[in-house]
Amino acid sequence: MKFSEFKLNSDGHVTVVVQDYKTDEVLMVAYMNEEAYNKTIETGTMTYYSRSRDELWIKGLTSGHYQYVKSLIVDCDKDTLLAKVEQVGAACHTGNRSCFFTEIYNGMEK
């Protein structure tokens, strides 16, 4: 699928939800611009656009915690990608496996 087919946010990015391909655990959420998307397809290594640094970000380049693409799936609105990846090490910059580790509500515990 071409990047031009996605419905982009106001910054020209597509949102990417990242899951472990074996467990379906949600690891993180990031963004891609066209260059990041094309590089991900070309290399098989997740590449994002860092909004805070205003540059491409190859996940794992500095930490060694790479994400290898197993599949990319677009949602029905074509505005979000689901990336299923093989995660090496931690996905979160805090050192946690997932960025989603702080529970704020659990209605199942009653």
Instruction: Report whether pLDDT(109) > 90.
Output: no
- For 23-43, give one letter per residue: b (16+ CB within 10 A) or e: eeeebbebbbbbebbebbeee
Tens digit of each residue's pLDDT (9 = 90 or more) over 7-61 = 999 999 999 999 999 999 999 999 999 999 999 999 999 999 999 999 999 999 9
For the residues 87-110, what does the mean pLDDT come to? 92
- What amino acid is encoded at 71 in this protein? S
- How far is the C-alpha of 39 from the C-alpha of 62, rounded, in Å? 17
pLDDT at residue number 108 = 86
- Environment class of 55 (CB within 10 Å of its CB; exposed 0-12, middle 13-18, buried 19+): exposed
Tens digit of each residue's pLDDT (9 = 90 or more) over 51-79 = 999 999 999 999 999 999 999 999 999 99
Q: What band does 110 get if pLDDT is binned at 50, 70 and 90?
A: low
Name the token pair of 24: 């379906």
| Domains of the chain as residue ranges with CATH | 3-87 (3.10.20.810)
Its pTM surpasses 0.85: yes
